[in-house]
Structure 1
Amino acid sequence: MHHGDPREEGPDPKEKINYKATFRLVLGLIKPRKGAFALAFAYMVLSTLVSLANPIVAKYIIDTAIPARDGQALMLATGVFFANTLLFLVFNYLLMMQLVKTGQDIMVALKERMLGHMLGLDLEFYSANQVGRLTARVQSDTSTLYELFTNTAVTIFSDAFMFLAVFGIMAVYNLKLTLVLLPVFPVILAFTWLFVHVSSPLFVSVRKLAADVSAFLTEQLGGIGVIQAFSREENTSARLEVINEKKFRAELRGELYAVVFFLTVLFLYPASTAAVFGAGGAMVLGGTLTVGVLVMFILYLGQLFEPIFRFSEHISIIQRSFSAGHRISRILDVKPTLTEPAQPHYLTSVKNGVEFRNVW
């Protein structure tokens, strides 16, 4: 019996993602490529800083350049706004190219590691695991994990940096108006925790069912001659339909949870905008806030919720990626029963020949 045997008897609705093991796998892949990810992080910081400048430029135009009727200042501010937009696009292009290159490098290394590991396992491992499932682990699950490295991981760091920076700038300009938004965030955190808690076993089930489909197709196509010889085409199609139906229903439930989560976050954005307009408008009428600062807050509010929107979209990708990492980790944790000794003894000579007894 293998240590950590990953044999699968079908989807377990109670099985949850082992985040600790998946984090170890992900960090182990990132560590040798710290330089590449550091460069991507630098591009991310630069693009974020550039995007943060535009609302301040808009405030300057409304509160300073236009009231002073200063055409030169207006043209200069407009040029800065346009230049910031171009720089944002350039840094984002460099960021995406760096992530794609690094992600491909990681996937090649991971597939080679998995293949090398499985080649060292005993025949018992292959008797307990269908070829199609192993193919899904090496090909499908690594492709799912690729999404985490190419976009999602750095985007999360970028969004966290953006969120904190925007919130800090808003607090510096007007703390009272910023505090109006505070009740929104506990609601978002509560729905995020609920979504992760409910969807975690569901995404593990989806990955298992995807492996079942791959395993079934691999085996049936490999024996297509026998299936046709015994006229088992309809029976094979019916069995595949059952597996596909289970996978479809599991994926549909997962997407339904993601849509409900996204729509909840989406509703909070106009509610927050209305609160800022109401409280900020009252401050403008009272003379304690300028129109430029109010416009800046509205622009920053879009940037404040943009990371939350992206996270609500990425959270299903994160769950799928960590589910795939969970499955990959289980394969890599399997240890062969027979291993080479640390100090092997080699046969250097034979005395009086070799005798075979009871050999058939």
Structure 2
Amino acid sequence: MRSLKTFAMAAALGGVAVPALAEEVNVYSYRQPELIKPLTDAFTEETGIKVNVAYLKKGMVERLVAEGDRSPADLVLTVDISRLNAVVDAGVTQPVVSDVIAANVPEAYRDPEGHWFGLTTRARIIYASKDRVADGEVTTYEDLADPKWEGRICTRSGTHAYNVALTSAVIEHHGAEGAKTWLEGVKSNLARKPQGNDRAQVKAIWAGECDIAVGNTYYMGKMLKDKEQQAWADSVNIVFPTFEGAGTHVNISGIALTKAAPNKDNALKMMEFLTGSKAQEVYASANFEYPIAPNMEADPLVQSWGEFTPDDVNLMTLAGHRSEALKLIEEVDFDG
């Protein structure tokens, strides 16, 4: 296949080795290798199709545009609705029609034109110190801007996709001016300059640097399974905040078929596999994410954190607010 040599060269830039197999599928991914490998291994075991993954940290859209029809990539695997939407807007995807995927992915979590499909959901929650934050002391996203939290909040960069999506949700609920005021309030409550990833914020709570932090649900499961990080996780409670009069902010991981897709048939098989019950069970048990397929349950550990009502804001609406959200985050110099 023409894709193999090209992908071997492209993947080498991403630090992956590609064995010469006849049946393959090539993936560009923003997801971490440890989150993807259990899924690719399961797919290969079931189908015999080798999965070559180039793990990228940035520039996926630009890379696909530059490669054009010569791109070796068959699939894009990423997180956050705005990133999925950006790939579609760049014109480097193609629509997929599959009865299997349509049955597996609820309408709310797939592109109306079939260009992307959700695989999992996660909630953007609050990690609260067990020792220094009382039950019920923080219940909404709006609470994060309350002056009572001055010097008590930790977070990763405001420009990270997870926080941009949350800010987009604030815009949807409170308008641009309300979101700007909220960002200014949260910034004034920070205990330190935004830094690190979501786990680093929980470590900071454990170390006494702050009392609450914003993060994704699945990181709690990952920390509890890591001997070094278990103490961090044990130091906090999970709070499912809501927007006033609405629900808890959720986002997705998802997949899209590239326009070039040299191994289109294999790519479709992988898309159908990832939305099916076997892969969804892997997502639930290995990655501690919420399965998207109907009638699939979260891992018992995840269920033990409690139930929540997802915000009913359309994900495409949030994607539409991304540019404005970034502009506001930069205007208030959130990371400064």
Q: What TM-score do the two structures reach when normalised by structure 2? A: 0.23
Point out the structure with max Rg over C-alpha.
1
Which structure features the higher share of helix residues?
Answer: 1
Considering Cα pairs closer than 8 Å and 6+ residues apart, tell me whether 1 or 2 has the greater RCO: 1
Which structure features the higher share of strand residues?
Answer: 2
Q: What TM-score do the two structures reach when normalised by structure 1? A: 0.22
